[in-house]
């Protein structure tokens, strides 16, 4: 007889019954999302949707394991691959020490303080941070954050690949209690978080720490348009990556699409982003100012517009960097800067829906500002450029 109770299946014969003869009677396989289960066990709420208006004002709840208050952010565009974890430390407070096998990139939303990182207590490294700082925790290193102010709270926003790692291994102890030290990434060396880095061709910067991404110098990159400047960042030898992008007053960037999980944090300027899946879909509009977060869903077109009186700048914390894991589909990493006419993922200005530019000109008029796309968009009515 054929059975499913731990015994091998054998081929059915004329005298036997196949296990598949009455498939509707078979038990349903249990489907488990280990990340969601862990998230629920943490006892803090989860924020969903397409974007966040302001990280500084997001309501938080007590998070005992973190030693402060916090919230999970699971926006639609992550595709379940990564998340954001917002944590606030009380004046003169400190987080609980922790370690984990998922990668974590930390952006300082507000406040000043310091972080200690170590595999070996005897080789602990500490560094100070303030508003706009960006750093990454070396994989599986222990770390602890300290609020340096006795009167003000400190708020940190981390983008992690916890959903991927927890669902991959589906074992909490392996992810949170693993003793392995990745000394090829961090060996407790002095100056590991000094802010030193190395520049590479392609506007690439490798480092462990940037003191303020809001003011860091950015090299020019014309491919995306909008008078753009972009610096691509590899942190702590992670597989995840980041970039800082800036575009000019009265301008907007070219529409494009890419994979899931890019958390776009607005650092400066005012404007909006449009998101749409198919050409005939209604476009979702996300208005933003510093502190807003937008996560475009996988393969959705999106476009960023500056309607303010100063250059707009954002930090994108992405699921993939450029050094270790690159997209394998449809042309790889460079496709995001390549025209759709050449097989890439970008829409050139002359190929975009003219209604998009008409809307931008109307928005600029509402703000009493000048559109400066005259030299770039054939149907622009403005002479400025």
Domains held by the chain: number:
2
Q: Are residues 157 and 247 in the same domain?
A: no
Residue 360 lies in a domain: yes
Eight-class DSSP state of 169? H
Give the dihedral of Cα atoms 177, 181, 185, 190; nearest 10 deg: 110
Q: Are residues 81 and 145 in the same domain?
A: yes
Question: Residue 8: its pLDDT value, please?
Answer: 60
Q: Are residues 124 and 263 in the same domain?
A: no
How large is the average pLDDT for residues 373-385? Answer: 90
Range of the domain at 264: 206-366
Q: Are residues 215 and 348 in the same domain?
A: yes
Strand arrangement of the beta sheet that strand 284-288 belongs to:
284-288, 271-276, 301-306
Residue 82 lies in a domain: yes
Whole-model pTM: value is 0.92
Q: Are residues 230 and 358 in the same domain?
A: yes
Question: Residue 325: its pLDDT value, please?
Answer: 76
Q: What distance, in Å, lies between the first and last C-alpha atoms of the chain?
A: 80
Q: Are residues 228 and 312 in the same domain?
A: yes
Whole-angstrom distance, CA of residue 149 vs CA of residue 207: 27
Q: Are residues 172 and 211 in the same domain?
A: no
Residue 151 lies in a domain: yes
Dump the DSSP string for 220-257: B--TT-TT-EEEEEEETT-SSEEEEEEE-TT-BPPPB-
Instruction: Give which of 118, 105, 102, 112 is closest to 164, Cα–Cα.
Output: 102
Residue 196 lies in a domain: no
Q: Is 34 helix (H, G, I), strand (E, B) or coil?
A: helix
Q: What is the mean pLDDT of the chain?
A: 92
Q: Are residues 111 and 241 in the same domain?
A: no
Q: Are residues 210 and 171 in the same domain?
A: no
Residue 195 lies in a domain: no
Residue 182 has pLDDT above 90, yes or no: yes
Residue 142 lies in a domain: yes
Residue 90 lies in a domain: yes
Dump the DSSP string for 310-365: S-EEEEEEES--SSS----STT-GGGGGSBGGGTSSB--GGGS-HHHHHHHHHHHH
Q: Are residues 243 and 337 in the same domain?
A: yes
Domain boundary residue, one of 158, 176, 194: 176
Convert the pLDDT of each residue in 70-83 to its tens digit: 999 999 999 999 99
Residue 15 has pLDDT above 70, yes or no: no
Convert the pLDDT of each residue in 134-154 to its tens digit: 999 999 999 999 999 999 999
How large is the average pLDDT for residues 161-177? Answer: 97
Convert the pLDDT of each residue in 89-130 to its tens digit: 999 999 999 999 999 999 999 999 999 999 999 999 999 999
Q: Are residues 273 and 127 in the same domain?
A: no
Residue 184 lies in a domain: no
Any idea what the CATH number is for the domain that residue 161 is in?
2.60.120.10
Q: Are residues 165 and 213 in the same domain?
A: no
Whole-angstrom distance, CA of residue 246 vs CA of residue 267: 9
């Amino acid at each position: 007889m054929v059975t499913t109770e731990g015994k091998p299946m054998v081929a059915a014969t004329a005298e036997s019954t196949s296990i598949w003869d009455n498939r509707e009677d078979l038990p349903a396989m249990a489907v488990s999302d280990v990340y969601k289960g862990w998230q629920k066990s943490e006892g803090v709420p989860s924020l969903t949707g397409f974007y966040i208006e302001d990280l500084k004002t997001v309501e938080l709840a007590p998070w005992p394991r973190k030693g402060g208050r916090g919230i999970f952010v699971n926006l639609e565009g992550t595709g379940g691959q990564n998340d954001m974890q917002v944590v606030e430390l009380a004046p003169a407070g400190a987080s609980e020490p922790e370690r984990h096998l998922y990668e974590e990139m930390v952006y300082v939303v507000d406040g000043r303080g310091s972080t200690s990182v170590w595999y070996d207590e005897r080789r602990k490294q500490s560094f100070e941070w303030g508003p706009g700082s960006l750093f990454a925790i070396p994989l599986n290193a222990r770390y602890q954050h300290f609020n340096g102010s006795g009167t003000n709270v400190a708020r940190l926003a981390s983008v992690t690949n916890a959903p991927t790692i927890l669902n991959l291994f589906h074992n909490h102890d392996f992810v949170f209690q693993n003793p392995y030290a990745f000394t090829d990434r961090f060996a407790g060396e002095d100056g590991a978080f000094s802010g030193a880095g190395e520049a590479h061709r392609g506007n690439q910067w490798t480092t462990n720490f940037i003191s303020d991404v809001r003011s860091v110098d950015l090299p020019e990159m014309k491919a995306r348009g909008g008078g753009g400047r972009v610096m691509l960042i590899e942190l702590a030898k992670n597989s995840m990556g980041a970039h800082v992008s800036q575009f000019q007053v009265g301008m907007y960037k070219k529409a494009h699409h890419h994979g899931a999980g890019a958390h776009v944090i607005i650092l400066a300027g005012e404007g909006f982003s449009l998101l749409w899946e198919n050409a005939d879909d209604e476009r979702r509009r996300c208005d933003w100012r510093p502190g807003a977060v937008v996560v475009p869903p996988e393969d959705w077109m999106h476009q960023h517009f500056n309607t303010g009186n100063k250059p707009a700048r954002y930090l994108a914390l992405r699921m993939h960097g450029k050094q270790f894991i690159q997209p394998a589909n449809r042309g790889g990493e460079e496709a995001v800067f390549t025209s759709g006419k050449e097989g890439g993922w970008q829409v050139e200005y002359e190929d975009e829906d003219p209604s998009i530019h008409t809307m931008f000109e109307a928005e600029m008029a509402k703000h009493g500002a000048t559109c400066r796309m005259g030299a770039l968009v054939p149907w622009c009515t403005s002479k400025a450029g």
